[in-house]
């Protein structure tokens, strides 16, 4: 199926690895141009080397918690690509911890990376998205925003706010032709999980840790792969999803005990 992404210009925050990298790679494979950012220049450069085999890529070091860096990155990316139709707010991190262990500062930092990054990237991209004939924002969130998990307490609280942000953005931006959807991740195998593995059970092999984590939690019985998220994001980015906005879609192998 042609997703109609040929010629579209896409920004993916946090595109150097994991889910963001897979999204950028899929967008390029579908004929779009892509711009990615992350904080570490070496990893960004390695990602660009791999992605440029697929198509036109722009990259810039940018920390999405820094408003000036966000504005600079989006301005430079739009200039390089000649416009913007799609923003994927993907940059983020896992932040395990319970209510008892997390400080106020932990909550503030996590809100900054998750909620405020989506707010400030959307704000910087919006004039360009409004100027496009058809545009989309895809916010990468977590099912913990819908199904609280006290062992990821900050994620639980902050992703709930992100889901509200997505829905309200869809309502406010709809009249301008900018669709906004949320893609909620369950367990997807990325470098983020290497950290959680080391934090929680360094004595287990990675595959054993992932298998035990998925068992009993994920109806499909396994972790997802980044490409399994990227397919949905590419679909939501293009004209095949032209009547889908304000949606909150889980990519979680059936996780999520709610209807």
Chain positions contacting ligand NAP, by CB under 6 A: 13-14, 16-20, 37-40, 43, 62-65, 90-93, 113, 140, 142, 185, 187-188, 190-192
Residue 46 CA neighbour count, 13 Å, CB half: 6
Using the minimum distance from each CB to ligand NAP, give the nearer residue, 185 or 237: 185
CB of 191 to ligand NAP, least distance (A): 4
Q: Which of 62-80 are b and which e, b meaning 16 or more Cβ less than 10 Å from the residue's Cβ?
A: bbbbebebbebbbebbbee
Task: Name every residue whose Cβ is closer than 8 Å to that of residue 242 and which is 6 or more positions away in sequence.
Answer: 134, 179
CB of 158 to ligand NAP, least distance (A): 9
Using the minimum distance from each CB to ligand NAP, give the nearer residue, 43 or 228: 43
Using the minimum distance from each CB to ligand NAP, give the nearer residue, 24 or 178: 24
- Residue among 152, 138, 140 nearest 217 (CA): 152
Cα–Cα dist 195/150, whole Å: 19
Local structure of residue 97 (DSSP, 8 states): B
For residue 77, how far is the Cα from the chain centroid?
Answer: 18
Task: Name 136's bridge partners.
Answer: 86, 179
Q: Alpha helix (H) ranges present in 82-115?
A: 104-111
CB of 259 to ligand NAP, least distance (A): 21
CB of 37 to ligand NAP, least distance (A): 6
Cβ atoms of residues 9 and 30 within 8 Å: no
Using the minimum distance from each CB to ligand NAP, give the nearer residue, 75 or 192: 192
Using the minimum distance from each CB to ligand NAP, give the nearer residue, 91 or 180: 91
Using the minimum distance from each CB to ligand NAP, give the nearer residue, 39 or 54: 39
CB of 244 to ligand NAP, least distance (A): 20
CB of 47 to ligand NAP, least distance (A): 8
CA triple 165-220-208, angle to 5 deg: 100
């Amino acid at each position: 199926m042609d997703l109609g992404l040929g010629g579209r210009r896409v920004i993916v925050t946090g595109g150097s690895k994991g889910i963001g990298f897979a999204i950028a790679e899929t967008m390029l494979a579908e004929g779009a141009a892509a711009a990615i950012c992350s904080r570490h220049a070496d990893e960004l450069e390695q990602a660009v080397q791999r992605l440029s085999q697929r198509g036109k890529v722009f990259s810039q070091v940018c920390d999405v918690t820094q408003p000036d860096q966000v504005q600079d990155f989006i301005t430079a990316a739009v200039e390089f690509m000649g416009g913007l139709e799609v923003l994927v707010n993907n940059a983020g991190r896992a932040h395990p911890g319970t209510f008892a262990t997390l400080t106020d500062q932990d909550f503030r930092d996590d809100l900054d990376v998750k909620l405020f990054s989506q707010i400030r990237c959307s704000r910087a991209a919006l004039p360009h998205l409004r100027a496009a004939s058809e545009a989309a924002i895809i916010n990468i969130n977590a099912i913990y925003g819908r199904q609280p998990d006290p062992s990821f307490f900050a994620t639980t609280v902050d992703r709930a706010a992100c889901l509200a942000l997505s829905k309200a953005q869809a309502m406010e931006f709809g009249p301008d032709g900018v669709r906004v959807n949320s893609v909620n991740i369950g367990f997807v195998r990325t470098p983020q999980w290497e950290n959680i593995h080391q934090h929680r059970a360094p004595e287990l092999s990675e595959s054993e840790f992932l298998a035990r984590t998925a068992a009993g939690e994920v109806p499909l019985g396994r972790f997802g792969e980044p490409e399994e998220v990227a397919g949905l994001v590419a679909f939501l980015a293009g004209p095949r999803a032209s009547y889908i906005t304000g949606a909150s879609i889980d990519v979680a192998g059936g996780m999520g005990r709610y209807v």
